[in-house]
Every structure is written in C-alpha cells, then in structure tokens.
C-alpha cells in the first residue's frame, strides 16, 4: 500500500533547512529509485524528495546529498528500505475497498476451504504497509475457518519494503480512530483495548497474529517463496511503476499463483494492455488463466 508522495504533500518541506539537492544528485536518486523500487520520479518531485531525505541526512550525520548518494553506491541494500520509506507515504486502512473482502467472504473462502480440507491455503499481501490489510484478511479468514469447521493449513504472508511500516505491522497496535471500517462485532472480537499509556489504542488479537507472517521484501528483487498462492493482494502499489516494471511484475505474479488464482489490484489500477495471463472478473479483481 505504499503510495508515492503526491504533489500537494508538503509534509517533507515544512521547516526544511539544510543542503540543497543538486541536479546530479537528483539524477542519481531518480535512476536508483527506478532501478530498485520501480518508481519513476518526475522533475517536479525534486524539491519534495529533498525535504523528505533531509531527515535521513540528519539521522546518518551526513553533510550533504553527495555523501548520501555515495552511501547508496557503496551499499545499496543497507539504505534501500529507509529511502523507500522517505519517498513514500503509507496509505491504508482496515477493509479498504470492501468489495474485495465481500468476494472473499461470499465466494472464495467457502469454496477454498471446502476444496482444501487437509491441504494448504495461502494468501499474499504484497505491499502490506502498516498491516491493516493482512489483518483484515485474517479476520475474514479466521471467521470462515470457524464457520466451515475445516482443517486447513491457512496462512497469510505480508511483505513490504519499508522497515518502519513492517515494524508497525509486527507491533499490531493502532489508534482507535483507525478502526473506521471495522464493524462493532469485529472490534469486540479481534482487538484488545489498551490501558494506561496505551489508552486510546487497540492491539490485534493473538489469533490473527498467528495467521499472518510479516517479512521484508522488495517486489523488484528475488522472491524466496517456494509454494504458490491462492490469492495475491497488491493494491495501490503498481500505479506508480513504469509500464515495463508493471509487465514484469504481473508476469511474476502469474507464475506465483495457483491455477485460476486471484490477483487484487487497487481502485485506480488496471492490467489493461499489460498482461495476457489474467481475466478481469470484477472490480479490480483478476483471475489467472489456466
């Protein structure tokens, strides 16, 4: 769920003072981000990137952007997650785009749990951000498992590039006002209310945490997963990738899905003209062709 900062986001500029991001350094950063994150930074993003990265310069004790670029040249992987966090904003919520969850609840989970008794069920939340998406999937999965009384090895993999987002997802603690999309019944069932210093916060129920495995992963690099998935959620991620990156990613998703597995995209995303491996079966829901 990582969204590139938009033109109107001035959060990275407020009170920003320090070294300027020169043309040569910005050109390097643009190429680095495109190569390692698949995100194309336009010329108009230069000032915004400068404001966001000033935080990293201060944290690392670096005097200027040339020094930061040299750090990336020496060891790209050491700073990649932090860089991605700086230039992106985590936009997510529980049960965002509810029609996707309705499809899971009404059709997919009942069918899978009936077909897979004694077998395995795997769902991947790719670009999981701070965890609201995989935990929402875990809620409907746990409820479906109870209704079906099915013995199924069911797990959800949640991945993201941002270290900060992953840390928040692992903690599973959220302000109460972040539960706007969660029904009262689910609030009571799946969240533990905080006390004392955590008054006004809730924590995800341990049962849901058991269903979700949270791991760092760069979608553009190698994927360590061995088995295939029944469904992949990659919502509001690929919209910022260039066309060749989208094409490669969709081809890799097709290879990672079971026959007739499902791929869920965000409300502004489409696979039109980018892949022949999927059929559109609903609003931003695609099924892998056999």
Residue ranges covered by each domain of the chain: 2-90, 98-288
State the helix-helix crossing angle for 76-87 and 163-171, rounded to 10 degrees.
Answer: 70
Distant-in-sequence, close-in-space partners of 226: CB < 8 Å, separation ≥ 6? none
Give the chain's count of helices (H) and strands (E). 11, 12
pLDDT band at 86 (very low <50, low <70, confident <90, very high): confident
Q: Is the pLDDT of residue 7 over 50?
A: no
Catalytic residues: 52, 160
Q: Is the pLDDT of residue 200 over 70?
A: yes
Q: Is the pLDDT of residue 3 over 60?
A: no
On whether the CB atoms of residues 65 and 19 are closer than 8 A, the answer is yes
Interval 101-129: pLDDT, tens: 999 999 999 999 999 989 999 999 999 99
- By percentage, how much of the chain surpasses pLDDT 90? 72
Mention the CATH class of domain 2-90.
Answer: mainly alpha
Q: How many CA atoms lie within 13 A of 173 on its CB side?
A: 10
CA angle 55/16/44 to nearest 5° reads: 90
pLDDT, position 41: 85
Measuring CA to CA, how many Å separate 129 from each of 89, 150, 160? 9, 30, 6
Q: Quick one: 188 exposed, middle or buried, by C-beta within 10 A (0-12, 13-18, 19+)? A: exposed
pLDDT, position 275: 95
Residue with tokens 């790719």: 126
Q: Choose the weakest-confidence range: 37-46, 83-92, 139-148.
A: 83-92
What whole-number distance in Å separates Cα of residue 83 and Cα of residue 29?
Answer: 10
Adjacent-strand bridge partners of 3: 89
pLDDT, position 4: 45
pTM of the entire predicted model: 0.85
Longest dimension (CA), the chain: 61
What is the rounded average pLDDT of the residues 51-70? Answer: 94
Q: Is the pLDDT of residue 16 over 60?
A: no
Structure tokens at 162: 């941002």
On whether the CB atoms of residues 251 and 277 are closer than 8 A, the answer is yes
Q: Choose the weakest-confidence range: 4-8, 64-68, 247-251, 274-278.
A: 4-8
According to DSSP, residue 177 is labeled: G
Interval 162-179: pLDDT, tens: 888 999 999 999 999 999
What whole-number distance in Å separates Cα of residue 233 and Cα of residue 126?
Answer: 6
Architecture of the domain whose range is 98-288: 3-Layer(aba) Sandwich (3.40)
Distant-in-sequence, close-in-space partners of 65: CB < 8 Å, separation ≥ 6? 19, 20, 21, 22, 25, 29, 50, 53, 57
Interval 121-155: pLDDT, tens: 999 999 999 999 999 999 999 999 999 988 999 99
pLDDT band at 89 (very low <50, low <70, confident <90, very high): low
What residue spans of 149-200 are helical by DSSP H? 163-171, 184-190
pLDDT band at 8 (very low <50, low <70, confident <90, very high): very low
Q: Is the pLDDT of residue 19 over 50?
A: yes
Q: Is the pLDDT of residue 17 over 70?
A: no
Q: Is the pLDDT of residue 260 over 90?
A: yes
118 vs 89, residue with greater confidence: 118
Residue with tokens 């108009």: 44
What is the chain's mean pLDDT, rounded? 90
What whole-number distance in Å separates Cα of residue 263 and Cα of residue 96?
Answer: 16
pLDDT, position 90: 63
């Amino acid at each position: 769920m990582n969204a590139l900062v938009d033109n109107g986001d001035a959060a990275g500029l407020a009170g920003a003072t320090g070294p300027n991001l020169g043309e040569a350094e910005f050109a390097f950063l643009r190429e680095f981000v495109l190569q390692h994150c698949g995100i194309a930074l336009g010329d108009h993003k230069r000032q915004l990137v400068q404001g966001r990265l000033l935080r990293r310069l201060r944290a690392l004790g670096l005097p200027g952007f040339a020094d930061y670029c040299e750090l990336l040249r020496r060891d790209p992987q050491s700073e990649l997650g932090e860089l991605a966090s700086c230039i992106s904003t985590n936009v997510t919520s529980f049960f965002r785009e509810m029609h996707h969850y309705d499809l899971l609840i009404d059709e997919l989970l009942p069918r899978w749990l009936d077909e897979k008794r004694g077998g395995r069920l795997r769902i991947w939340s790719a670009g999981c951000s701070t965890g609201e998406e995989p935990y929402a999937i875990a809620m409907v999965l746990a409820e479906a498992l109870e209704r079906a009384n099915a013995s199924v090895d069911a797990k959800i993999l949640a991945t993201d590039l941002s270290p900060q987002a992953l840390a928040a997802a692992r903690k599973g603690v959220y302000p109460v006002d972040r539960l706007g999309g969660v029904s009262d019944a689910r609030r009571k069932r799946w969240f533990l209310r905080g006390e004392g210093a955590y008054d006004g916060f809730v924590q995800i129920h341990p049962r849901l945490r058991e269903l979700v495995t949270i791991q760092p992963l760069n979608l553009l690099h190698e994927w360590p997963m061995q088995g295939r998935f029944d469904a992949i959620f990659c919502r509001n991620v690929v919209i910022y990738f260039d066309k060749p990156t989208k094409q490669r990613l969709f081809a890799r998703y097709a290879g990672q899905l079971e026959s007739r597995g499902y791929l869920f995209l965000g409300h502004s995303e489409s696979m039109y003209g980018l892949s022949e491996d999927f059929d559109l079966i609903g609003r931003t829901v695609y099924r892998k062709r056999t």
